[in-house]
Chain A
Amino acid sequence: MNDDKTLGEHLRERGISRRGFMKFCAVTASMMAMPPSMIPAIAAALENARRPSVIWLSFQECTGCTESLTRSHAPTVESLIFDYISLDYHHTLQAAAGDHAEAAREAAMKENWGKYLLIVDGSIPAKDGGVYSTIAGVTNLQMLQEVAEGAAAIVSVGTCAAFGGLPKANPNPTGAASVSELIKGKPIINVPGCPPIPIAITGVLAQYLTMGALPELDHLGRPMAFYGQNIHDRCYRRPFYERGQFAETFDDEGARKGWCLFKLGCKGPTTYNACATAKWNDGTSFPIEAGHGCIGCSEPNFWDAGGFYNALSVPTGNTAKTILGAAAAAAAAGVVIGAVNKRNKNKAAAAHEPLTVDELNRE
C-alpha cells in the first residue's frame, strides 16, 4: 500500500465505483451519527483523507471490546477503513508475535512520532509500580506512558480504558486506573461500554480518519454523537414509565407486556449511550428490548453503583440494619436522657417551696 495515496484513490484502486463510494460515504455518515445532509462533505473529506498509523494497546481487558468491533454488523465497510489504516500493533489481531511484534510497534512509533493514533482497551494496574500486568517484560503503565508520548490522540475503548471498569471494582487489588487518570496533556476520547457499541468505536475512528478532528465530547470525554442522550430518554418503554406501569419481576404480566424495567434496577435514566437507537446484533435489539434493565456499563464505576437489580431510587445500604442500629442507640441514649429528665423534674419537685401569700405580696 502506498502511503501517499488518499483514501479515495485507494478505494478506486480496489475497484470501488463512484456509486459504491457514495454508498460508502452514506454508511459512514450513518455510522458517525451524522445527518444525511453531511454525506457530500464526508465524501469530500474521505476523498482526500491520508493514511494514518494506529497502535492498539490492550491491557487489563477481556478482549470483549475487540470482539465487539470485529464482529460488528458491517465488517466489509469497516474493513475498508481498517484495510486502509495502518494497524501497526494489536496483540490479538496482528500476525507477528514476541520480539517481532514489539519491534513493529517501536518502528511504527519512530516513523510516525507525534502523528499516530493510540487506541487503548483495558485498564492499567498502577499499584506497586504496575507489576500486575506486563507485556514483554514491560509494565502496562510504562508502555502506555511511552506510546502515549508520541501519539496525536488517544482513544480509550471500553469502560476499563475509559473509567477503570471491572478491574477497578472494589476492592481494586491492582490499583487499576483509566487512561485519563494516568495520561495528561493529550487529547483523549473515551468510548466506554462493556463492550462499547461497535458503531461507536468505528464511528469515532471514521470521524478521526475522515475529518482528522476530534468529535465533540461530554464532561466525561465521550463523543456527544453517541453518548449525548441517556437510554431512558430514547427508550421505547419510556411511555410505561410515564404511566407508572412497571414490571415487578422478570416473569410477571408487566414483563410480558414490555413495561418499564425501572423497578428491576434499570439504570437507563443515569446511563448515557446509544443502545436504544443504534442497538446491538445488526440492529436487532438492545438489553432493555430483550427484557433486562440497563446495567449502566458506559458509566464510571457501574459495577459498584449499588447493584444491577436495585432500582435507582432505592438506597443501596442495609436499611433494616441501619434502623435497628439507630433504634438500639436511641434506646440506650433514651434511657440516659429519660433518667436525666426525670432527675431534673424530681429535683425541681423536691426543691419546691410552697408559694405563700406573703411571697405574693412582697415588693
Chain B
Amino acid sequence: MSSLKEIPVAVTYSPDHPLGTGNVIPILNEVRHALQRLASTGDSTAIDLASIPFGPGERDQLLQTLGDGEIQATLHALGETLIRETAYPGAWVVTHMSPQGMELTTHIEVTRTPSLLSTPQRDIEDAAEALAAYLHEQSIQESA
C-alpha cells in the first residue's frame, strides 16, 4: 500500500457536512463573546485549538468560516509564525510553525493587536543601543 488514498475503506464526509463533535458553533460563539468583551472592557482572549477535539473537517470549517481579513503578517523566528486577521476584525488566527514548516500550535486571539506583532521593550532598547553603536562607529570611521 503506497498511499492513504489506496485504502479502500475511508470515512466519507464533505467540508459542508463535517463529522463529529459539533464544536464549531460553540467556538464561534466563544469568539463572539470575546469580541464583545474586547469592545467593552478591552480584555483580550486566546483560544488554543490544540485543546479542542475536532472531527474530520471541523477545524477546516471553523477557519474557513472565520475567513481572511485585511492584515497578514509573517514572523520569522524559530520557523515561521503566520498572523492574520480574520474577516471579523479583532479576531486573529496565529499559527506557529517549526523551521521545517510543520504546524506546532494554532491560537485564535481576540485582541486589538497580537502581542507578537508589537516590539518588545528590551528589543527597542537594544535597537536604540545598536543604532547608537552603529552611528558611533560610523562617526569614528568618518573621523578616521
A and B touch in the complex (CB under 8 A): yes
Q: Which residues of A does B touch, CB under 8 Å?
A: 16-20, 22-24, 26-27, 29-30, 33, 35-37, 39, 73-77, 234-239, 250-251, 255-258, 276-278, 282-283, 289, 291
B46 adjacent to chain A (CB < 8 Å): yes
Q: Is the CB of A19 within 8 A of B120?
A: yes
Given contacts A18-B120, A23-B96, A256-B10, could you give 19 more A-B pairs where the C-beta distance is less than 8 Å? Answer: A16-B78, A19-B75, A19-B123, A23-B77, A23-B116, A27-B96, A73-B104, A74-B102, A75-B100, A76-B100, A235-B53, A239-B21, A251-B9, A276-B53, A277-B52, A282-B102, A282-B103, A283-B103, A289-B56
- Hey, which chain B residues are within 8 Å of A251, CB to CB? 8-9
Query: How many chain B residues touch A (Cβ–Cβ < 8 Å)?
Result: 41
Q: Is the CB of B48 within 8 A of A30?
A: yes
A283 to B103, CA, bound (A): 9
Partner of A37, one of B11, B46, B56: B46
- Return 30 A-B CB contacts under 8 Å, by A number: A17-B77, A18-B123, A19-B77, A19-B116, A19-B120, A19-B123, A20-B78, A22-B115, A23-B78, A23-B96, A26-B96, A26-B107, A27-B96, A27-B104, A35-B48, A35-B51, A36-B109, A76-B98, A77-B98, A77-B104, A236-B20, A236-B55, A236-B56, A236-B58, A238-B21, A251-B8, A256-B11, A258-B55, A282-B102, A282-B103
A17 to B76, CA, bound (A): 10
A36 to B51, CA, bound (A): 10
- Hey, which chain B residues are within 8 Å of A73, CB to CB? 98, 102, 104
Q: Is the CB of A258 within 8 A of B105?
A: no
A258 to B10, CA, bound (A): 8
Partner of B20, one of A17, A24, A239: A239
Chain B binding surface SS class: loop
Q: Is the CB of A283 within 8 A of B50?
A: yes
Instruction: Give the A-B pair count, Cβ closer than 8 A.
Output: 115
Q: Is the CB of B53 within 8 A of A36?
A: no
Closest to A275 in B: B53
- Hey, which chain B residues are within 8 Å of A257, CB to CB? 11-12
Q: Is the CB of A291 within 8 A of B9?
A: yes
User: Which chain B residues in 29-81 approach chain A with CB under 8 Å?
Assistant: 46-48, 50-56, 58, 75, 77-79, 81
